[in-house]
Amino acid sequence: MGASFHTTATLCAVLLLSSFLHPARCDDPQPPPATPVPPSTACNETTDPAFCRSVLPSNGTSNLYTYGRFSAARSLSNANRFLALVNRYLARGGLSSAAIAALQDCQLLSGLNIDFLSTAGATLNTTTNNNTLLDPQAEDVHTLLSAILTNQQTCADGLQSAAATAWYMRGGLAAPMADSTKLYSVSLSLFTRAWVVQRPRRPKVRKPTTSKPPRHGRGLFDATDAEMVRRMAIEGPAATVPVFGAVTVDQSGAGNYTTVGEAVAAAPSNLGGTSGYFVIRVAAGVYEENVVVPKNKKYVMMVGDGIGQTVITGNRSVVDGWTTFNSATFAVVGQGFVAVNMTFRNTAGPAKHQAVALRCGADLSTFYQCSFEGYQDTLYTHSLRQFYRACDVYGTVDYVFGNAAVVFQDCTLHNRLPMAGQSNTVTAQGRSDPNQNTGTTIQGCSIVAAPELAANTAFATANYLGRPWKLYSRTVIMQSAVAGLVEPAGWMPWDGDFALSTLYYAEYDNSGPGSDTSRRVNWPGYHVLNSTADAGNFTVANMVLGDFWLPQTGVPFTTGL
């Protein structure tokens, strides 16, 4: 996550190393955010200066804070207009099923953008007297503005996939889609220039004085992973976290509900994080259903009887007419979601291409001792802040993908046997704007061959750590065990030289036969980190600001290196 410092020289060194915060050149003079400047100057270091100048008022001068609040307000008005346009297309009728599916995704995502911009704008408007945002406020707004661009990109990707049957519709949406993306990018640029750059850096995490990794329970939980599982299984979630209410799902009829979807629908709406979790205990069984935890179902904790015991499974895929976004067996949008001891599965198979087991666009979401099973596009870490601990992920092509700020700890990533002619890529990170605070951290994990891949000798499968889905793709693998199946080059291009100069891929302190970096790619955006300070930017403390919210979940985590 972008680190910020008091001194310009130190800040510039970090910006040039990793492009964390914004694309500004460090040798350009940068006025203090509170200094009045004309709009043309304010726009110089945004992602699209010409478009920015067309947005900001042309008369008079103001400061970067005022411009930031103004552009956020303009973005909110634009989001409402774009949603109205999507609704008009859906109301027309006569569209292909592919076009309708893509538009419905856009409808959901545009509604989320309105929510996010409303929240971000309200927070920024509280700063009119002193222009001050402190952690976690600044990080919260940065996360929301980053997610707005991700939502817009997902909408655009879906419409482009439907182009063959809905080209006329895309023609009507192409221009407003592009303008919306530019406006949201400018708002993010102005926000980072005004608020993010001036924030003091969060304190460095001190190295522990004992061999035990640092865990932050804040009194809720401070035990080993095994102890956590025991307490969850025997004593229930109330042993470690505050509980607002609880229900049980059991296919035999012994619980409150027989399906997971019914239990989610029964959860209270808009539960606050201080009220405790609404706990859904899901008894062992195979639940064949597609489940959505919508945006108004917040702070839901779902606890199963164990990996392979409590299984939620489906088989939606792109080949069968679903969008990638809506192919998910289990989708989460509601903030503060926690899942423990469960399996999420998509059985469509490799021939059906994109087929998501779990899609998560829930801020402050946590998955512990869970398994995600699929082939292509298994785990869609779509947006916002997420944490995965002691989980298993199975897949083939781009099987951990999306544009969240996400950290995986103590997880095992299993490369499965793909179709003939396919290569395996563990990650496909989708950061599309240099100011987004997103990226994928894989820390203390294992990257291995699943049994069917290890046993296959019919054809050789090339395995890579990842490839750049979007222009500013960012992935860091550190302190992990990498098996020898990974190609010496490590990373795979997406298409020619696309993103090779703008991506940020890094490896730090890994082990195993596949961790040798001597023959890695020589892309400008690839790095072998040798500094704990550099690697520290991608830890739980900095990547997802986990010290502020993970203690509430009761799930163990390592805050630093």
CB 559: neighbour CB atoms within 10 A?
Answer: 18
**CA–CA dist 516, 383 (Å, integer):** 31
Report the candidate in 179, 182, 108, 195 with the shortest Cα–Cα distance to residue 143. Answer: 195
Helix or strand run (H / E) with residue 98: helix 97-125
Given a contact cutoff of 8 angstroms between Cβ atoms, the answer to whether 429 and 398 are in contact is no
**CA–CA dist 516, 534 (Å, integer):** 19
SS3 547: helix
**CA–CA dist 260, 298 (Å, integer):** 16
Choice among 140, 157, 398, 547 that is catalytic: 398
Helix or strand run (H / E) with residue 165: helix 163-191
Please report the DSSP string for 43-82 in residue order: HTTSS-HHHHHHHS-SSS-B-HHHHHHHHHHHHHHHHHHH
Q: How many CA atoms lie within 13 A of 133 on its CB side?
A: 26
* Two tokens, residue 95: 């569209």
Question: Is 27 one of the annotated active-site residues of the chain?
Answer: no
CB within 8 A of 9, min separation 6: which ones?
A: none
SS3 181: helix
Beta bridge partners of 365: 386
Q: Which residues are catalytic?
A: 398
